Every structure is written in structure tokens, then in C-alpha cells.
Amino acid sequence: MRRLGIACLAVLAGMAALCGEAAALTERLVVNRHTGLAIDGFDPVAYFTDAEAVKGLPDIEAGAAGAVWRFRNEANRTEFLAHQDIYGPRFGGYDPVDVARGKAIAGRPQLWLVSGERLYLFSRDENRSAFAADPKAVLKQADASWPALVDTLADY
């Protein structure tokens, strides 16, 4: 009977940990509705550690915030799960320049920039250049537009 109790506690602890993982990333995410992948399977930690867009591996995944995230190694997976609020793309992967304009257009994982220790994805090269030229101005507008824009996004 004692073993059953310990097993139940282990299951509950695991469920609590999973809930904590999902709660850490609070922004609405761009998720491929066919695969369930966030950022098309690119490793979100690699943008910071390798300074490049690197595809994650199908056998190294984690579920968080209603999406499947892929990683190139276990260390990146562990780091992401501990700090989703840092490694998850800001504005959920929507292009911040478009968000500033009041539009929800998904960024492409290959068009990215790390600024202010956050990852941003862009829909077009021109938007990445505009953001790089004056990130503070873009973010000020995007932060103002984002709350109303989130309310217009459909649940998938």
C-alpha cells in the first residue's frame, strides 16, 4: 500500500511539473497546426548559444504552452524548460514590426534576431532591418498593440 502511495505522489509531482512548464511561457504562440511544432521545429536555445537557426531533432522534444518544441541536444532542452520565458520567441513568434502595425503575421525561424536577451522572428528581411535600426521604438509600439491583437488570434 505504501508503494502505491509513493507512486501516486510521483505521478502528481510529474503532472505538477508539466503544468509548471506550460505556465512559464505565457505568450500566444505561432504553432504549426498540422505538426504541433513551435517555430517549425527549430531549437529556440540554439539562437542564443550557437547564434544561428538550427533544426531540433525529433527524438529530443518537450511539450510546453500547447506546442511541441525540438532541440538539438538534451542540454538545450533542459535549459529551455528552466527558462521558457527567455528562450521562447517574444510575441509568440509573430513579427514585432507587424505587431507594431496591428497585424499578426508569423515570423519565419530563419529570419531572426536576439535583442535585449529575447528572440524575435520576422516575416520579411525589411522588417528585421527596420527592427535592428530602432528596436526600442518598434517594441514600444508592439507592446502597445499586442494585448488587443492577442484577443483577435484564433485558438488552434
Tens of pLDDT, residues 68-95: 999 999 999 999 999 999 999 999 999 9
Cα 121 from Cα 89, distance rounded (Å): 7
Higher-scoring residue by pLDDT: 115, 24 = 115
Cα 2 from Cα 43, distance rounded (Å): 41
Place of cell 511539450: 63
Considering only CA atoms, which of 48, 40, 33, 37 is closest in space to residue 109? 40
pLDDT band at 98 (very low <50, low <70, confident <90, very high): very high
pLDDT at 2 over 70: no
Contact call for residues 115 and 136 (beta carbons, < 8 A):
no
Q: What is the pLDDT of residues 113-135, one digit of tens each?
A: 999 999 999 999 999 999 999 99
Q: Where are the beta strands (DSSP E) in the chain?
A: 57-64, 67-71, 108-115, 118-122
Q: Check residue 151 and give its pLDDT.
A: 85
Cα 46 from Cα 19, distance rounded (Å): 24
Cα 4 from Cα 110, distance rounded (Å): 48
Element (H, E) at 129: helix 125-133
pTM to 2 decimal places? 0.81
pLDDT at 3 over 90: no
pLDDT band at 154 (very low <50, low <70, confident <90, very high): low
Cα 91 from Cα 86, distance rounded (Å): 12
